[in-house]
Chain A
Amino acid sequence: DAMVIQNPRYQVTQFGKPVTLSCSQTLNHNVMYWYQQKSSQAPKLLFHYYDKDFNNEADTPDNFQSRRPNTSFCFLDIRSPGLGDAAMYLCATSRDRDILRGNQPQHFGDGTRLSIL
């Protein structure tokens, strides 16, 4: 089945120690998104890639970076995790992002829950 896969499901890191979360997709979608979801809150978009074009949200901290080496993979790098970065990180994909091309539903992976010691 085509899907969005996130690894690992659970990640523990130390305060200030860089960490990388991984997302892969077999849907061959052009757009990949990263969301942060804190406990009992709405998912919040951090950034997205449209093909190789990186698009940051205005309020995403500089501590968060992303890489997309090819269509299938996208990584979330947190350079110096703080206690406030403990959250579930969700990866999503959509075929396109052009709203003039109609419905472009986002398909989510199961997330990576990040804990900071």
Chain B
Amino acid sequence: GEDVEQSLFLSVREGDSSVINCTYTDSSSTYLYWYKQEPGAGLQLLTYIFSNMDMKQDQRLTVLLNKKDKHLSLRIADTQTGDSAIYFCAERSGGYNKLIFGAGTRLAVHP
């Protein structure tokens, strides 16, 4: 069945780059998403990538997709304390826009 896996925790120094990794299982996924969740809040759509792309850049965010290995990553350049949050990877699966989420990666940014 569908499954999305993420590492649970990442700690980086302020100003460094963060790389959050994700693997998924549904090879027919056409869109993959990254969402950000701050404490006590809902999910904020950060970016997405279409499956025929290898890379997408959006300001400080870079998404890399390796479709062969079913591996997705989110790189945040110049990480700031405001980037501290939980980041969820999600694949669009099934015939009706269903999202399958990973368990989330908690990013901690320290001075």
Contact = CB atoms under 8 A, between A and B. Distances in A.
Interface in B74-108: 88, 92, 95-99, 101-104
Nearest to A6: B42
B33 A105 contact: yes
Interface residues of B, number: 24
Give the size category of A's interface with B.
20 to 34
Given A42-B88, A99-B30, A99-B92, A105 B45 contact: yes
Interface of A: 4, 6, 31, 40-45, 48, 50, 55, 90, 92, 94, 96-99, 103-111, 113
Contact of B41 (A31, A42, A96, A111): A111
A94 to B, nearest CB: 6
B43 A90 contact: yes
Contacts of B43: 43, 90, 92, 108
